Structure 1
Amino acid sequence: MTTDRSSTDFQLSACAWVVSAGLWTLASAQAQGIYACTDGKGRRITSDRPIVECLDREQQQLGKTGIVRQVVPPSYTADERAKIEDKQRAENEIKARAAEEKRRERALLIRYPNQVVHDKERAEALAQIDEVIAAVNKREVALRQQRKEVETEMEFYLADPSKAPFWLRRKLEDSDKQMVVQKRFLDEQAQEKLRINQRFDEELAKLRQLWPPTAAATGGSAVKR
């Protein structure tokens, strides 16, 4: 019977100690009060701990009744705080760029699971340009024929081209302009083919770093440029 009473007393003492410790912790937290300040943007901020946005200025520590208990001096100067914010902003930008790069890599792998698919899309893109060039070249043949006919008519006015009828001179000018436009368009299509190949070359170099060896090995087909 004595043993049971001693055990009970010990348990009660332990519980009392735990309750006392909890009350002390709660009282300690309440004793710290609330921090309040106005940040550099004019916002009034309150928190149960020192406020990061106000480390460059004074913070008021309020009691639970709202009375100012003490004033916490600045932890950083305005310049120091600006430097910290700039550093944090730069770090966030680096993380954002890295996350965006990861997103693009995932999208690239989904679109091109292996080199066969990538080569096929390159070939299709180049084939579309070749079709346009073929149509332009066909048009150029017709323009050269028209030009030949105009020059034949102009042979009667070689001594003095100014005496040629207005409609004939206008036809000759239009022919010159169309030939210039034709050449410029063909040059643009040649440049577009270069851009397409450059884009696919850059993608391929990136994909070869991302593909597993088996995916890269399934490609390798030659692409006509």
Structure 2
Amino acid sequence: MRPLLVACLLFASTAWAQEGSPGKGIYTCTTADGRRLTSDRPILECTAREQRVLNPDGSQRSTLPPFLSPEEHAAKDAADRRAAAERLAQQDAVRRDRTLVQRYPNEAAHQRARNLALDDASKATRLSERRIKDLGTERKPLLDEAEFYQGRPLPAKLKQALDANDASVEAQQVLIENQKAEIVRINSRFDAELARLRKLWAGAPPGSMPPLTEQPKPAAAPKPAASK
């Protein structure tokens, strides 16, 4: 028996089992050449087409989908997975927008959050600037001591202290640059949020806009070299 016929028979028997005994349903379909077929069991000529299952009074009980080949089944499964992923993404977008509006019911609340985030970055910058100033104070006696060794190699302990001081200053300078980049990132994020919120406040449905893109965070500063 040909594989397609075997598959069709399996399809018919499965559909038959799902719908109950053949006397309890009327199967009808229209073939590709326009013929309308009716039977008391799944119609083999319509395995590639949708079949309506009617009750004895003519009302529709259910619908049998077309028979699919293994390749078509795989394609349909992939399409179903994509559709499910899209549905989940849409649900997540709706949830995110609703959460955003709940968190920031008005522009004043959003501005307060922006100021708080910027204040944290500014405090970190001021701490690094203060640390650089302290390192400059610590460096002065080291430089005074180094003047006694003009034209001569510095003692290992003094050289290590100067190198460690240089490394610490460099690390704090990197931190300051990172905080400057962080301030730019914070403002960009809040600007994008505010543009979205204004549309949501104006009545745009949650999840109806493209997702917000997260700005990359600055790289971590290198650790200063440890003095020996």
Q: Which of 100, 104, 120 is the matching residue for 2:96?
A: 104
Cα distance, 1:138–1:30 mapped onto 2, change above 3 Å: closer
Aligned to 2:156: 166
Question: Which secondary structure does the structure 1 equivalent of 2:185 belong to?
Answer: helix
Unaligned runs of 5+ in 1: 1-28, 34-48, 57-73, 214-225
Helix, strand or coil: the match of 2:21? helix
Which of residues 147, 161, 180 is equivalent to 2:170?
180
**Cα deviations across residues 182-207 of structure 1 (Å, max 9, x unaligned)?**
11111121121122112111111111
Counterpart-to-counterpart distance in 1, 2:107 and 2:113: 10
Write the distance in 2 (CA, Å) between the matches of 1:83 and 1:212. 41
Query: For residues 30 and 155 of structure 1, do their structure 2 counterparts lie closer, same or farther at Cα, with a shift above 3 Å needed?
Result: closer
Q: Matched residues, percent identical? A: 32
* Offset, 1:166: 2.3
Q: CA deviation at 1:30?
A: 4.7
Q: Deviations over 1:98-156 (max 9, x none)?
A: 11100000000000001110011100110111112112211111111222221121111
One-letter identity of the residue aligned with 1:138: R
Match of 2:184 among 194, 199, 202: 194
Indicate the RMSD between aligned Cα atoms, in angstroms: 2.4
More helix by share: 1
1:158, distance to aligned residue in structure 2 (A): 2.1
* 8 Å Cα contact 2:121/2:179 also seen in 1: yes
Rg larger in structure: 1
Equivalenced residue count is 147
Read off the aligned partner of 2:156 and give its amino acid letter: F
TM-score (norm 1): 0.60
Q: Which residue number corresponds to residue 153 of structure 1?
A: 145
SS state of the match for residue 109, structure 1?
Answer: helix
Corresponding residue of 1:135: 127
Q: How does 1:11-160 map to 2 (within 5 A)?
A: 30-32=20-22, 75-160=67-152
TM-score, scaled relative to structure 2: 0.59
The whole-number CA distance in structure 1 between the counterparts of 2:122 and 2:109 is 20
- 2: distance between equivalents of 1:166 and 1:31? 97
> Given the superposition, is the C-alpha separation of residues 30 and 108 from structure 1 closer, same or farther in structure 2, using an over 3 Å criterion?
closer
